[in-house]
Amino acid sequence: MAMRQVRVEDAVGMVLGHELTKIVPGEYKGPAFRKGHIIQPEDIVHLKSIGKDHIYLFELGPDEVHENEAALRLAKAVAGEGITLDAPGEGRVNLRAAVSGMLTVNLEALTAVNMTDHLALATLHSGTVVEAGALVAGAKIIPLVIAEELLKQVEASAGKYRPVITVKAMRNKKVGIIITGNEVFYGRITDKYAPVFAKKAAQYGATILGTVYQPDDRERITASILDFKQQGVDIVIASGGMSVDPDDVTPDAIRATGAKVVTYGTPILPGAMFMLAELDGMTIMGMPACGMYSQTTVFDLVLPRVLADIPVTKADLAAMGHGGLCLSCQECVYPHCPFGK
């Protein structure tokens, strides 16, 4: 890159080859003049007010790419389904969610990209539930120009993993609820679980097709699961009876449907006794009692993935042990906390 220094008084009529940034602490940080701007006489005072006695004109070499073009190419290389791109500025392109859903980031690809010199790719945590329009990542070129060869290398690296960053829209799936337990079924205590599920379903955009109550009876719980299957339910949630006590029969009832158990037990607290199973395309979740009194649980980590049709394996759940400890803060700010990250 060839660069020439020019006094601002002598720059009238010349074209800026890069953006000039203006910073007002606590108020503004952004471009004062954009690349391609033709310097006008009235610009001289403004340029001096932001500390510019000279501007720099440069000519790109045949194997060099300007920061804005390079940032846009980097963003396009990593963007997948459900991602939109902002216009480049100051060598950066913001990646935003095109839909409300779950952000997924290929962590191996992210590391590979960031091993490349002179650029940066920063994201939110994979697994974060985001609203449409939310900022989910930023692609940044650090110098004013970058070598074409280096940019091609990172494009090729990202291409091996495509897509690197996606937002999967959560579908409005049909949910069937089974509240188990003799104490609730026989009216000895008031059920507190149904309102929790109603709130969570509304929060994540699912529809509750029906709620039934059953005692601690394996056959009756199994029959209710299969009945929901006949109704075309996408997800069945069976609450209660998930511990290892002899009269807690919900896990056995889920197995008796013929469902394939993904896991019984997770390294997520609250939610250690959670069960996840699949029955001919229908997801079955066995929720322990923690869901009644803990605002955020394993349920909040698994349900959005199921609604977004993101497969959840035993290995996925095992990996959730890193960040799987909820601190039960007095004021819950999830997802803006370490839980599930």
Bridge partners, 140 (sequence order): 92, 120
Three-state secondary structure readout of the chain: CEEEEEEHHHCCCCECCCCEEEEECCCEEEEEECCCCECCCCHHHHHHHCCCCEEEEEECCCCEEEHHHHHHHHHHHHECCCEEECCCECCEEEEEECCCEEEEECHHHHHHHHCCCCEEEEECCCCCEECCCCEEEEEEECCCEEEHHHHHHHHHHHHCCCCCEEEEECCCCEEEEEEECHHHHCCCCCCCHHHHHHHHHHHHCCEEEEEEEECCCHHHHHHHHHHHHHCCCCEEEEECCCCCCCCCCHHHHHHHCCCEEEEECCCCECCCCCEEEEECCEEEEEECCHHHHCCCCHHHHHHHHHHCCCCCCHHHHHHCCCCCECCCCCCCCCCCCCCCC
Residue 261 CB burial class (10 angstroms; 0-12, 13-18, ≥19): middle
> Hey, what are 292's tokens?
């009644």
Average the pLDDT over 332-338 and give the result.
90
| Burial letters 40-71, b for 16+ CB under 10 A, else e | eeebbeebeeeebeebeebeeeeebbbbbbbb
Residue 300 CB burial class (10 angstroms; 0-12, 13-18, ≥19): buried
Average the pLDDT over 254-265 and give the result.
97
pLDDT of residue 58: 65
- Residue 17, pLDDT above cutoff 70: no
Residue with tokens 């939310």: 134
Quick: pLDDT tens for 105-131: 999 999 999 999 999 999 999 999 999
Supply the CATH classification number for the domain 174-319. Answer: 3.40.980.10
Sequence ranges of the domains in the chain = 2-59, 64-169, 174-319
- Residue 291, pLDDT above cutoff 90: no
In words, the CATH class of domain 2-59 is alpha beta
Average the pLDDT over 33-62 and give the result.
80
Q: Check: CATH 3.90.1170.30 for 64-169?
A: yes
Sheet holding 119-123, edge to edge: 83-85, 92-97, 135-141, 119-123
Quick: pLDDT tens for 50-97: 888 888 766 677 898 888 899 999 999 999 999 999 999 888 999 999
Residue 3: band (very low, low, confident or very high) from pLDDT cuts 50, 70, 90: low
- Alpha-carbon distance of 175 to 287, in angstroms, equals 14
Residue 136: band (very low, low, confident or very high) from pLDDT cuts 50, 70, 90: very high
pTM: 0.83
Quick: pLDDT tens for 167-177: 999 999 999 99
Residue 15: band (very low, low, confident or very high) from pLDDT cuts 50, 70, 90: low
Asked if 296 contacts 248 with a C-beta cutoff of 8 angstroms, the reply is no
pLDDT of residue 36: 62
Give 50 or 147, the one with higher predicted confidence.
147
| Lowest-pLDDT range of 35-39, 87-91, 144-148 | 35-39
- Alpha-carbon distance of 280 to 259, in angstroms, equals 8
- Residue 1, pLDDT above cutoff 60: no
Quick: pLDDT tens for 209-241: 999 999 999 999 999 999 999 999 999 999 988
Alpha-carbon 19 to chain mean position: 31
